[in-house]
Amino acid sequence: MTETAAAEPFVLDNSYARLPSEFHARAMPTAVAAARLIRVNRPLAVQLGLDAQALESPAGLDILAGNRVPKGAEPLAMAYAGHQFGNFSPVLGDGRAVLLGEIIDRNGARRDIQLKGAGRTPFSSRGDGRAALGPVIREYVVSEGMAGLGIPTTRALAMVATGEPVLRMRAEPGGVLTRVAASHVRVGTFEYFYRQGNNEAVRALADYVIDRHYPHVADADNPYHALLEEVAARTADLIAQWLLVGFIHGVMNTDNVSIAGETIDYGPCAFMDNYKPATVYSSIDRGGRYAYNQQPGIGQWNLARFAECLLPLLDDDEEKAIAQAQAVLERYIERFENTYHDGLAAKIGLQERREGDTELAYDLLKCMAEQGADFTLTFRHLADLGQASDSRDDGVRALFDDPAAFDGWAARWRQRLAEETRDDAARRVAMRAVNPAYIPRNHRIQQAIDAAEDGDYQPLEALLAVVARPFEDHPELADYARPPAPEEVVQRTFCGT
C-alpha cells in the first residue's frame, strides 16, 4: 500500500492529525484481496467537489477499499472513551475505522473522510476491525434516508465488498463504508481526556471544535460556555427531528454523540412502523434505555456528561461552573420541546399556533398508539384529507384498528382547521413537505441486504431511489411505502461489530 504522485480521485488534509499524539493513533487501512465496488454516491460526490467517475475507477476503488492511501492523507484512529448503557469505558477509540483526512467541499466546509471496516487499529482490542456487508448497507441506506428527510447526518460516499468473509454470529461477506462527516469528534472524545484529569487536552479539543465547527463563538465572553450552548441546541433540534419521523437511534452512548450535531453511528437503528412510544430495536438494549420515547431524556443525560468535561473551562469557581452548566441543560429541554411541538403542529397542518394545538397532536399520537396505526402513513394520508369527511378519509381510517377512534379525533382536527386562514390546497402542500411517504423501513433494508449478499443489488437501488426523495410520490415503487406484513417484521437489529 503506497502513496502515488499520479492523478488522485481526491486529495486530503488532516487537521486532526496536527493535534497532540494522545488524541489519536496512527493506523493504516488493511488491504483486501478482492475488492469490488458496490456503489458510489454520485450526488454526494458532486457536493464534495469530487469526480464520481474517478472514484469509480480502479484507482478510486483502491482508495475506497483501503488498498491505497490518497495524497495528503494521514490515516489515524481517533481516541475516545464513552458511557455505554450508562457504564463508563475509559478507552474505546476507532476499533474498526480509519480517518484518512478531510476535504473542503463546495461550500467551503471541512468534511471528514473515514473508512469504516478498514481493519485493525490500536483500539481494536480483540476485534478484527472489519465490517460485515449487512451493516455497511444499513448505514448507507439509513444515513442517505436521513439526508433525504433533511435531518443532519453523516453521509455515505461509497460501499465496497471486500471479497473476504467476516465471522460474526455466522460467516458473512465483508464490506467497507466510506463515511463523510462534519466531524467525528464525540462527547466521548472529551470524556477520554477529562476522566484522565487532562484538562489541558480538554481545552485543546474544545479550541479545535470551536475553530472548526463554531468559529462564531470564539469572541464570546466565555467561548466554552457558548460552545456548550451550541452543542445543546443542535442536539435538542436533532432529537426532536428524530421523533418527528419515528426514528430510533438504538445506541445513544456518549461515544455515539456528535459534537457537530449530526446523527452518527448507525448500528441497531430503525424507523418505527406502528406507533409504539416504547419501541426498542437494538438486540442489546434489553432494558429499553434507548427506546424511542427515552431519546430526549438520554440526550440531556449525554449533554450532562459533556458539560462535566467543560466545567474546568467554564469557571474557576466550581459552584459557578455547575450553575452555568445546569442552566444550559434546562434550556435544552425547552429547546427540544419548542422544536418538537412546532414540528408536530406542522405535521397536522397547523400554521397559526394556538392554545391546545400541542394537546391535539398528542391526542392523535395516543390514538395511534392505542389503535396500532402506522406512524409514517397516518401523517402522510392525513395531508390528503379535506375540511369535510369524504372518501379520502378511507386510507387513513384503515390504519386504525377501530376507524371510529380516528373519526372522533378528526372531527376536532377539522374544527381547528376551520380557524386557519390558509386554504386546503396550501395546507396539503405544506403537510406533504414535512410528512414523508417513504422511510427506510426495516424489512426493506433487510430484504436489500439479503439480496445483496446473493449478488442482487436491484432491491437496494430501488430502496435508495425512494428514500433519497421521500416526500415525492413514486408510483412505480409505491409498494416501498407499505408497512411490513406480519411475516416481514424485523423485531431486532444488531450493531454488526
Query: Which residues does the annotation mark as catalytic?
Result: 255
- Burial class from Cβ neighbours inside 10 Å (0-12, 13-18, 19+) for residue 476 reads exposed
Q: How many CB atoms lie within 10 A of CB 418?
A: 8
User: What whole-number distance in Å separates Cα of residue 56 and Cα of residue 40?
Assistant: 7
Residue 110, all three cell numbers: 471541512
Residue 229 DSSP class: H
DSSP class per residue in 36-71: EEEEE-HHHHHHTT--HHHHTSHHHHHHHHTSSPPT
**Could you identify the residue written with the cell 437501488?**
461
The dihedral through the CA atoms of 364, 411, 379, 336 has a sign that is negative
Buried b (16+ CB within 10 A) or exposed e, 264-283: bbbbbbbbbbbbbeebbbbe
Closest CA relative to residue 295, chosen from 344, 239, 342: 239
Say how many CA atoms lie within 13 Å of 125 toward its Cβ. 6
Distances (CA, A) of 154 to 136, 141, 180, 262: 13, 12, 6, 6
3-class DSSP assignment, residue 20: coil
